[in-house]
Structure 1
Amino acid sequence: MSWQPHELRGDGRPLADFLRDTPVDDLLVEKKALVFRGFGVTEASLDAPMDLLLPNRLAYVHGNSPRTKVGQNVYTSTEYPAEYTISMHNELSYAASWPSRLMFFCAKAAESGGATPVVDGVTWLESLDAPVREAFAKGVRYTQNLHGGMGLGKSWQETFETSDTKAVEAFLDASAAEWSWRPDGGLRVSQVRPATTRHPVTGAEVWFNQSDQWHPASLGDETAMMLAEIMPPEDLPQSVQYADGSPIPPDHVIQVRDRGLEHAVDVNWQTGDVLLIDNVLVGHGRRPFTGSRRVLVAMS
């Protein structure tokens, strides 16, 4: 049987009480993803279990997906049109540091669809053809063009949750990124990151990059062609190359995207569910949906 997230069912106690008697840290490393179901969690009662699952919650600094902050380092899941799939990825794998775990909370399940697929990072890596793995072996270079208040994509103020240029510069210097301010007030950031990483406890090597999401090929032929007509690749809001600056073939990133989705397992939400994942061992995404859906995310 293929890998599945481990489900823990409510036993009449509040989730926070259940968590105090459960070895969550060990379970998460062993099972990689945990679903807490039937505990009657609501958005109003979320803080107590969240404090136990996510000590030292992190802000979504340097995040590239559109979200709304709804609490103390709590955000809506990626605000992307409901009819589209969000492909598999590990949160902030393109950054110098990333959260070790993510927690999702389903405040309202969609009318239909809207599952959160999760994929075992070891399986994802092993599913790729050998030439693709070899091509990525030296890593990837991510480039962002963040506008200063008006333009395509996200602004640097939104991305770094500050309007203090010195704070942004200090953050980027600490992450060994190359950066420059643009004449129009925007910010260009470039950084080289590995394509895989190893889990700090298990030592397992996993696929760990977002090249497929940053590559124009993932936008679909029509959108990619339209963008190519109005701006060169280096001026796109985000783009990716191999670490040496050479282009990544579209078929490589399409294979990465498709193999991740092929080996993913859906977590089909019920209102009140809590999902905890190891952000290194497991990638996640989103299936299309109909109706309103509210899923919150926090990270630690």
Structure 2
Amino acid sequence: MNTKIQPISDGIGQEIINLDNVSILELDKQEIISLFRSNGILLFRGFDVDTGIFKEFTNLLSIDFINYAGGAFSRRVINGDETLLSVNDFKSEIKLHGEMYYQQNIPLMLWFFCANPPLEDGETTVCDGRQFFYEISSSTKELFNKKKLKFTVSISKEDWQKKYQTDNLNTLKEMCQKNNTHLTVNDDQSILLEYIFSAIIPSRCGKYQVFINSLLPTKQLSPKILKFEDDSEIPEEVVSELNEIAEKITTEISWRKGDILMIDNTRILHGRRAFADDQRDIYIRLCSPAFSF
């Protein structure tokens, strides 16, 4: 195939660039899978892609597409398809994180599609959770090995019905049970959710330790809901250390129209820079790979 393959940046991923009007649907699937397994993140650039082709291409390599029930943000459904969502509902920075790591059942793989790039800024940020682990000080690693983290969130009846896309308490209870989340229902049917998790996890293949979680954006956007399991605070110097590492090892992806980004959500953290214009339109699909890691 007339494509060029090069690293996205010095430390991360591979970029597959169309040189000769090749259809993205004609790319060698086994080559994509092989590159993805070894890199965890691929950027497809220069292909003629619209929303329909994006869906067709992602369907070739993925299974178990999910909607965003229980998700932390508000997301717009595209063309009536609940597995195709816009990630543009506010414009501020989102720090590096794993997708939906505030619950047990995460999408193992993510696809992003640039329907329209921003006029400026709004880059997607990525880094390798393996590298992040290696950069963390031994004292912070020890702290995270000793203490798990805990999300504690209070949600009104109206808000949880919207967030979980149901008004049935039994359905909510089932969802929480499947996600290993402790649910308390109050008299007014507002709820309290508690979810305990490790900041550092073994990689899917079991050979590596990976720092991947939602700690940094939670501390940025809703700091009070995240503490250690014993209800002690996460020290400010630890959060500062993690933010410094994140900036040091971050790669920025400046979007071009039609770009597709394929991410291993068990290894690669992602986020985004702030932006100001209304042009930026990036879509996401949440799924599992149709192949083994």
TM band (smaller chain): 0.7 to 0.9
Instruction: Give me the whole-angstrom Cα distance separating, in 1, the residues matched to 2:82 and 2:203.
Output: 28
1:43 offset after TM fit, Å?
1.9
2:155 aligned partner: 146
Describe the shift of the 1:21–1:170 C-alpha distance in structure 2 as closer, same or farther (beyond 3 A). Answer: closer
Task: Calculate the aligned-residue CA RMSD, in Å.
Answer: 2.0
1:80 aligned partner: 90
Q: Secondary structure at the match of 1:283?
A: strand
Which residue type is aligned with residue 296 of structure 1? Answer: Y
Structure 1: tracts of 5 or more residues without a match = 150-154, 225-232, 234-238
1:98 offset after TM fit, Å?
0.8
Matching residue within 155, 176, 180 for 1:176: 180
Query: Which structure carries more strand by proportion?
Result: 2
Q: Secondary structure at the match of 2:51?
A: coil
Matching residue within 268, 281, 284 for 1:297: 284
Q: Say how many residue pairs are matched.
A: 274
Question: Does 1:102 pair with 2:110?
Answer: yes
Instruction: Give me the whole-angstrom Cα distance separating, in 2, the residues matched to 1:140 and 1:281.
Output: 19
Describe the shift of the 1:72–1:14 C-alpha distance in structure 2 as closer, same or farther (beyond 3 A). Answer: farther
Q: Secondary structure at the match of 2:227?
A: strand
Instruction: Give me the whole-angstrom Cα distance separating, in 1, the residues matched to 2:63 and 2:69.
Output: 17
Q: Single out whichever of 188-197 and 39-48 deviates more from structure 2.
A: 39-48
Following superposition of structure 1 onto structure 2, how do residues 205-220 of structure 1 map, counting pairs within 5 Å? 205-215=209-219, 218-219=220-221
Q: Secondary structure at the match of 1:290?
A: coil
Question: Does 1:246 pair with 2:250?
Answer: no
Which residue type is aligned with residue 58 of structure 1? Answer: I
1:236 aligned partner: none
Structure 2: tracts of 5 or more residues without a match = 1-8, 288-293
2:273 aligned partner: 287
1:6 offset after TM fit, Å?
0.4
TM normalised by structure 1 equals 0.85
Q: Secondary structure at the match of 1:280?
A: coil
- Preserved contact between residue 116 and residue 266 of structure 1 (Cα < 8 Å): yes
- Preserved contact between residue 141 and residue 190 of structure 1 (Cα < 8 Å): yes
TM normalised by structure 2 equals 0.87
Instruction: Give me the whole-angstrom Cα distance separating, in 1, the residues matched to 2:273 and 2:171.
Output: 36
Percent identity reads 22
1:21 offset after TM fit, Å?
4.0
- Preserved contact between residue 227 and residue 233 of structure 2 (Cα < 8 Å): yes
1:26 offset after TM fit, Å?
2.5
Following superposition of structure 1 onto structure 2, how do residues 54-93 of structure 1 map, counting pairs within 5 Å? 54-70=62-78, 71-81=81-91, 84-93=92-101
- Preserved contact between residue 126 and residue 251 of structure 2 (Cα < 8 Å): yes
